[in-house]
Amino acid sequence: MNKQHFKLLIVDDDTNYTNVLKKILSTENYSIQTANSAENALFKVQLSHYDLVLTDLMMGGMNGIALLEQIKKESPLTEVILITGYGTVENAVEAMRKGAYSYFIKGNDPDELLMTIEKVENSIILKKQNAALKNTVNAIGITLTSQNQRFLETIELAKKAAFSNASILLLGESGVGKEVFARFIHQNSPRQSEPFIPVNCHSFQETMLESELFGHKKGAFTGAQENRIGRFEAADGGTLFLDEIADTPLNTQTKLLRAIENKTVERIGSNEGIYCDFRLISATNKSLESLIETKEFREDFYYRISTIVIDIPPLRDRKEDIPQLVNQFIHDLFNEMKRPYKGMDPEVHEQLMAYDYPGNVRELKNIIERLAVLSVDGWISKEDINFTSRKRVNKNMTLKDYRGQLEKEFIQSILEENNYNMTQSAEQLGISRRQLFNKVTEYNLRSE
C-alpha cells in the first residue's frame, strides 16, 4: 500500500499534543487529518473513510471509548488506537475488548506507536490482498491464455495498459469475459494490492445508481437511514470497474464525468468533496458511437472513459481455445461436485467444437455445467448434449439470419431455465431487462 493512501485521523482536544504527533507521523508520509473533539472526529468519519483513528481517551464531551463504539458502527473496517495517560490504562484495556486495535501511553517512545501503526498498515494490506485473491477466484473462471493470435494480442494490450493509470474501455459481446479482463488488468497493475470494485450499471435505477457510486449522508433521501460510502470511495487506491456503462442515464454520465476528471466525489446530501485515487475500467457490449449519434451517450464522457480501447474477440472467432476451456471447466466442476471425471464421448467434443456460441464463454460454461451434472459415473454422454438440432443449418440462410436463430434459441433456453423470470434471465444473459424485453418481442418468445 502506498503510504499516502493510508488515511489516518488524530483526535485530541490538546492541540499541542496533536501537532507534535502529526509532526512525528508525517515523517512516514501518511495521509493525516486531525480533529479537536470526538464529535468533530465522528463527523469526519461519517464523510470519509479512514484506515486508522488515533484518539485520546479522556476528552471534554464524548470520550475516546464512546467514539470507538460509534466508529465501529459507522465504519467497521476502521481500526482505532487509544491514546491514554498512565492513570487510565485499565480503561484502555477495556476499550480493546470493545474493538480497539491497541493503546499507546503518552510519554512512551514514539517508535512504539510507529511500530503499532505499521502493524495496522500490514494487516490492512493483507486483508485487501485476500479480498483481491477472492475476487480473482470468483471471476468467470477462465485463464487468460490462448492458442489464437488475435486473442493473444488482446491479452498483451491488456498487460501494457495495466501499468498505466489511463481509463480503459472493454468492448465485446455478452459473455466474452469483460469482467475477467478487468480483473486481469487490475491484478497486473501497481494497484493489485488495493481493492477491485465492480458495479453493474444496468442493475440500478438512476437514483440508486448514484447512491451506489457516490454514497450518501443519513437522511439524504427516503430510506437513507445511515451514512454510506460509495463505490468511488471504496475503490480509493484501487480499480473501479463500471460494467454495462452504456446503460448509465445521461444525468449520471454528467456527474461521472466530473468525478473522473477531478478524482473527487460528493456524497448525496453533502457538498463536501472527497478525493479518491481510483483507476477506471468500463465495459459494454453496445456501440457507444451509435448511442452518441442518437444523443443517448455523451461524447465528452466517451472520450474520458476510452483512452485505451480493448476489443475482446467472441469465442466463435477463437475456437482453438475451446478444448482448453472445456478441460478447465470440467476439472473445476467435478472438483466442486467431489465426483471423479472419467471422460467424454468423442461426438460431444465434435459438437462442442462445431457450435458457434452466441453466448460466448458464459454459454460454454453453462453447457459444460449441465453436462457435468447429468453425467453418469463421471462419463459425459452424447445423449446429454441438447443443441444438436441447432447445427442442422439451412444452407440458404444468411449469416445474419443464422446468428439470429442461434440467439433466439439461446435466449429461449435461458428463459426456460429461469421459468421466464425476466430479471434473473437478463442478469444471466448479461443484458438489461429492457434489452431482454425487446428480444422477447422481436423473437416472440413467450411461455406456453
Which DSSP letter does residue 30 get? -
Of the candidate CATH numbers 3.40.50.300, 3.30.1510.10, 3.30.70.380, 1.10.1740.10, the domain formed by 139-313 belongs to 3.40.50.300
Lay out the sheet containing 7-11: strands in order across.
31-35, 7-11, 52-56, 79-84, 102-105
Mean pLDDT to the nearest integer, 392-396: 52
Q: Sorting pLDDT into bands at 50, 70 and 90, what band is 160?
A: very high
Q: Which pLDDT score, from 0 to 100, does residue 377 have?
A: 84
Cβ atoms of 248 and 288 within 8 Å: the answer is no
Instruction: Single out the residue of 251, 239, 260, 171 nearest to residue 205, CA to CA.
Output: 251
Residue environment code for 76-102, b if the CB has 16+ CB neighbours within 10 A, otherwise e? eebbbbbbbeeebeebbeebeeeebbb
Of all residues in the chain, the percent with pLDDT exceeding 70 is 90
Three-state DSSP class for residue 351: helix
Q: Which residue has the higher pLDDT, 393 or 273?
A: 273
Q: Is 399 a residue whose pLDDT tops 80?
A: no
Q: Which pLDDT score, from 0 to 100, does residue 139 have?
A: 44
Q: Is 166 a residue whose pLDDT tops 90?
A: yes
Q: Which pLDDT score, from 0 to 100, does residue 447 have?
A: 57
**Could you give the CA distance from residue 52 to residue 428 in angstroms, rounded to a whole number?**
40
Three-state DSSP class for residue 355: coil
Q: Which residue has the higher pLDDT, 2 or 205?
A: 205
Cell (9 digits) for 20: 507534535
Q: Which pLDDT score, from 0 to 100, does residue 140 have?
A: 41
CATH topology (fold) of 316-443: Helicase, Ruva Protein; domain 3 (1.10.8)
Q: Is 22 a residue whose pLDDT tops 50?
A: yes
What pLDDT digit, counting tens, does each position of 88-103 carry?
667 767 778 888 888 8
Q: Which pLDDT score, from 0 to 100, does residue 390 have?
A: 45
Q: Which pLDDT score, from 0 to 100, does residue 128 have?
A: 64
**Could you give the CA distance from residue 304 to residue 172 in angstroms, rounded to a whole number?**
19
Mean pLDDT to the nearest integer, 107-113: 87
Q: Domain residues of the chain, as ranges?
A: 3-133, 139-313, 316-443
Cell (9 digits) for 81: 488506537
Q: Sorting pLDDT into bands at 50, 70 and 90, what band is 182?
A: very high
Q: Considering the domain 3-133 in this protein, what is its CATH number?
A: 3.40.50.2300
Q: Is 400 a residue whose pLDDT tops 90?
A: no
Q: Is 330 a residue whose pLDDT tops 80?
A: yes
**Could you give the CA distance from residue 260 to residue 279 in angstroms, rounded to a whole number?**
9
Instruction: Single out the residue of 78, 71, 81, 88 nearest to residue 116, CA to CA.
Output: 81
344: phi then psi, degrees, rounded to nearest 5: -135, 140
3-133 and 139-313 have identical folds: yes
Residue environment code for 171-191, b if the CB has 16+ CB neighbours within 10 A, otherwise e? bbbbbbbbbbbbbbbbbbbeb
Cell (9 digits) for 438: 425487446
**Could you give the CA distance from residue 151 to residue 148 in angstroms, rounded to a whole number?**
5
Q: Sorting pLDDT into bands at 50, 70 and 90, what band is 299?
A: very high
